[in-house]
């Protein structure tokens, strides 16, 4: 096949390694689907949206409050993190001297590497008691939003920084030569250029936010309900799985797997979307 035998050997070794990756993935998908199928065959999909409540011991499988919980907490965190992150990146790139910019970038790099448990822990000891003084119990949607914002913000700053740095220097030089003001350059040249990269990165971070489990488990209160206000406790899909998986049997377990499968599909869609945006950056 190849002129050198070494190459043929190499080829087959490589193929098998790739094969392992693919098999690994197929395994996981297969397992998820098969575990979810139990409940799919027993309980109609309608039940997840129209049952009275989530009480698997009494055959109630309403997932809606948790879907809403995940949604609210993610949107809330993105709502805070995106503007804060982007403006911080603009600051870092265009409004501070070079040495400060480098240090800031390093700091943000470190921050993005900190495990979410640490942020969750800090949320438990600082944020929750703080919120409890406003309204008990303190473990709430707001606490979750705050902690989640902390978790995804460094990522957004990093992405924004990256996107801004990737703007063609030539464009900037031209703009300066034409006498455009800093504000105009940022708004009309940097931003449109960086748009796609920004979007792709933001979508990825939202995927991460949705998948966040333990940190939100620690500060959200975990009550299955539709939050009346931001000080009320909520439960997300991920925390639901974490909380009940170990103790769940049969149908209950299968329901949890199904919610895991749904989560995975949502995150997958986001990732694929993000990649489409990134690919189109490469071609333009």
Partner 1 sequence: MILLPSNHNLADRILRFICWICGSLVLSFFAFLFFDILIQGYEKLSIAYIFSNSLNAGRAGGIAPMLVSTFLLLLLSLVIALPISIGSAIYLAEYTNEKQWFSRFIRLSLSMLASVPSIVMGMFGYAFFVIALNLGFSILSGALTLAAMILPLLIRNIEDTLRNIPDIHRLNASALGLSKFRTIFQILLPMANQGIFLALILGIGRAMAETAALLYTSGYVTRMPDTIFDSGRSLSVHIFDLSMNVPGGEQSAYGSALVLVLFLLSINILTHWIGQKIQLRSIT
Partner 2 sequence: MASCSPQQPTPDLKRNKPITLSGKLTITGSSTIAPLAAELAKQFEKQHPNTKVDVQTGGSSRGITDIRRGTSDIGMVSRKLKSNESDLTSHLLAKDGVSIIVHKSNPILELSEHQIKQIYLNKIDNWKLLNGMDKKITVINKAEGRSTLEVFLKHFNLNNTQIKPSIIIGDNEQAVKLVANNPHAIAYVSIGTAEYDIGLGVPIKTLALNGIPANKKALISKQFPLSRELNFITKENISALTIAFINFSQSKTANSIIEGFGFVPTHP
Q: Which positions lie near partner 2, rule CB under 8 A?
A: 52-53, 55-58, 60, 129, 132, 136-139, 221-224, 233, 235, 243-244, 246-249, 252
**Least distance in angstroms from the C-beta of 33 to partner 1:** 12
169 binds, among partner 2, partner 1, none (CB under 5 to 8 A by kind): partner 1
Binding partner of residue 117 among partner 2, partner 1, none, CB cut-off 5 to 8 Å per kind: partner 1
Backbone angles phi, psi at 167, to 5 degrees: -65, 135
The token pair at 252 is: 């209950």
Residues in the chain: 284
To the nearest whole angstrom, how small is the minimum distance from the Cβ of residue 156 to partner 1?
A: 10
- Segments of the chain assigned E as strands: 54-55, 60-61
Q: How far is the CB of 7 from partner 1 (least distance, A)?
A: 4
Nearer to partner 2, 156 or 234 (CB): 234
Answer for which of 116, 193, 200, 206 binds partner 1 (CB under 8 A) is 116
Give the per-residue contact string, 141-180, with partner 1 (x = CB under 8 A; - = no). Answer: ---------x--x---x-------x---x--xx--x----
Q: How far apart are CA 90 and CA 228, in angstroms?
A: 36
The interface with partner 1 within residues 56-85 (CB under 8 A) comprises 83-85
CB of 202 to partner 1, least distance (A): 16
Helix or strand or coil: residue 55? strand
Q: Which does 233 bind (CB under 5 to 8 A by kind): partner 2, partner 1, none?
A: partner 2
Work out how close the CB of 28 gets to partner 2 at its nearest, in angstroms, rounded to a whole number: 21
Query: Does the footprint of partner 1 cover residue 280 (CB under 8 A)?
Result: no
Q: How far is CA 156 from the centre of its chain?
A: 11
134 makes contact, choosing from partner 2, partner 1, none, with CB < 5 to 8 Å by partner type, with: none
Least distance to partner 2, CB of residue 53, Å:
6
Choose from partner 2, partner 1, none: what does 158 bind? Cβ within 5-8 Å by kind: none
Partner from partner 1, partner 2, none contacting 222, C-beta within 5 to 8 A by type:
partner 2
**SS3 assignment, position 60:** strand
> Is the N-terminal amide bond of 24 cis, ω within 30° of 0?
no
The two counts, helices (H) then strands (E), for the chain are: 13, 2
In angstroms, the CA 46 to CA 55 distance is: 16
264 to 22, 60, 73, 125, 225: CA distances (angstroms): 17, 23, 17, 31, 23
Residue for token digits 């705050």? 146
**217 exposed, middle or buried (CB, 10 Å; 0-12, 13-18, 19+)?**
buried
- Say if residue 25 is exposed, middle or buried (CB neighbours under 10 Å; 0-12, 13-18, 19+): exposed
Binding part of the chain for partner 1, among 50-58, 111-119, 132-140, 223-231 by CB under 8 A, reads 111-119
**Residue 197 or residue 233: which is nearer to partner 2 going by CB?**
233
Question: Are 160 and 201 contacting, i.e. CB atoms less than 8 angstroms apart?
Answer: yes
Q: How far is the CB of 4 from partner 2 (least distance, A)?
A: 49
């Amino acid at each position: 096949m190849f002129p050198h035998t070494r190459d043929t050997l190499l080829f087959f070794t490589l193929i098998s390694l790739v094969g392992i990756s693919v098999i690994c993935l197929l395994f996981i998908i297969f397992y998820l689907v098969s575990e979810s199928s139990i409940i799919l065959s027993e309980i109609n999909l309608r039940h997840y949206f129209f049952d009275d409540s989530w009480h698997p011991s009494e055959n109630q499988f309403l997932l809606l409050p948790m879907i809403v919980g995940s949604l609210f907490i993610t949107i809330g965190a993105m709502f805070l993190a995106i503007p804060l992150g982007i403006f911080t990146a603009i600051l870092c790139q265009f409004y501070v001297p070079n040495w400060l910019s480098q240090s800031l970038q390093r700091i943000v790099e470190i921050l993005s590497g900190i495990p979410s448990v640490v942020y969750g822990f800090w949320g438990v000891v600082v944020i929750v008691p703080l919120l409890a003084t406003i309204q008990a119990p303190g473990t709430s949607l707001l606490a979750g939003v705050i902690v989640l914002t902390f978790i995804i913000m460094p990522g957004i700053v990093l992405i924004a920084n990256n996107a801004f740095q990737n703007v063609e220097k030539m464009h900037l030089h031209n703009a300066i030569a034409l006498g455009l003001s800093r504000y105009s350059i940022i708004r009309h040249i940097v931003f449109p250029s960086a748009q796609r990269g920004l979007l792709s990165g933001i979508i990825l971070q939202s995927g991460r936010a949705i998948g966040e489990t333990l940190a939100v488990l620690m500060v959200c209160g975990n009550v299955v309900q539709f939050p009346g206000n931001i000080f009320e406790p909520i439960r997300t899909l991920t925390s639901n799985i974490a909380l009940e998986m170990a103790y769940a049997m049969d149908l209950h377990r299968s329901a949890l797997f199904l919610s895991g499968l749904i989560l995975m599909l949502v995150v997958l869609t986001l990732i694929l979307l993000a990649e489409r945006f990134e690919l189109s950056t490469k071609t333009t």
